[in-house]
Amino acid sequence: EHQGDVKYVLLVNCGGCVDIVELLQPAEDVTFFICDAHRPLDVCNIYSDRQVCILGDAALEENIPAFETIFHDSDEEDDDQDQSGEEDEEEVHNDSGAGDSDGDDDSAQRPPGRPKLTRLERHEQRILRQRARRQWESERDRIMFEYTQFSYYGRSTALLI
Element housing 11 (H / E): strand 8-12
**Minimal CA–CA distance to 45: which of 148, 160, 150?**
148
pLDDT at 78: 52
Torsion, Cα 21 24 28 34, to 10 degrees, reads: -60
pLDDT at 107: 46
How do residues 88-115 score in pLDDT, each as one tens digit?
A: 445 444 444 444 444 444 444 555 666 6
The residue ranges of every structural domain in the chain are 8-64+148-160, 69-146
**Minimal CA–CA distance to 52: which of 72, 68, 30?**
30
pLDDT higher than 70, residue 145: yes
pLDDT at 100: 47
Q: Mean of the pLDDT values across residues 14-25?
A: 90
Region of poorest pLDDT, from 10-14, 52-56, 97-101: 97-101
